[in-house]
């Protein structure tokens, strides 16, 4: 049984996939506007990065909530062939806010002025400071940084 003295544990799940034709920039932003509400209500944090027709998403929170959300995401026809690349438990969140951050190409950095959940590459790189191991490597790879 958990009580206020039990340290909180966060379940982290990361997957990669490929966007479908239907996943345009506009539809992606609309999808992410809805996702903020869902994720905040369920205390889920995370980041979605799209680079060179490849998607990387990290989702963190209560394990049941994260798995429930991933079950929906996995079946979503707006992307293809999702493959889980990381599952782990930690006492900390790597993404320090609830909702779902989005980062696209450098040419889309201006979206950071238009959407509260959009992070340009420089901002997104700061999150990697809080992450270790395989997820850090993947984040750096998707942010095109070595």
Ligand X SMILES: Cc1cc2nc3c(=O)[nH]c(=O)nc-3n(C[C@H](O)[C@H](O)[C@H](O)COP(=O)(O)O)c2cc1C
Interface ranges with ligand X (CB under 6 A): 31, 35, 38-39, 46, 48, 55, 57, 69, 72-73, 76, 78-79, 100
Task: Decide whether 7 or 26 has the Cβ nearer to ligand X.
Answer: 26
Residue 9: Cβ within 10 Å count: 12
CA atoms lying within 13 Å on the CB side of residue 8 = 9
Helix (H, G, I), strand (E, B) or coil at 38: helix
Task: Decide whether 68 or 137 has the Cβ nearer to ligand X.
Answer: 68
Task: Decide whether 100 or 131 has the Cβ nearer to ligand X.
Answer: 100
Distance of CA 78 to the CA centre of its chain: 16
Helix (H, G, I), strand (E, B) or coil at 5: coil
Work out how close the CB of 57 gets to ligand X at its nearest, in angstroms, rounded to a whole number: 6
């Amino acid at each position: 049984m958990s009580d206020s003295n039990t340290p909180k544990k966060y379940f982290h799940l990361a997957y990669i996939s490929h966007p479908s034709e239907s996943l345009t920039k506009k539809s992606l932003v609309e999808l992410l506007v809805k996702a903020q509400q869902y994720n905040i209500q369920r205390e889920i944090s995370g980041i979605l990065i799209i680079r060179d027709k490849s998607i990387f998403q990290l989702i963190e929170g209560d394990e049941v909530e994260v798995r429930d959300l991933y079950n929906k995401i996995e079946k979503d026809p707006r992307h293809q062939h999702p493959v889980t690349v990381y599952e782990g438990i930690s006492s900390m969140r790597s993404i320090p806010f609830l909702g779902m951050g989005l980062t696209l190409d450098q040419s889309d950095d201006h979206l950071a002025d238009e959407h509260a959940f959009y992070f340009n590459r420089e901002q997104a790189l700061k999150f990697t400071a809080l992450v270790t191991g395989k997820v850090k490597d993947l984040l750096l790879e998707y942010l095109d940084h070595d």
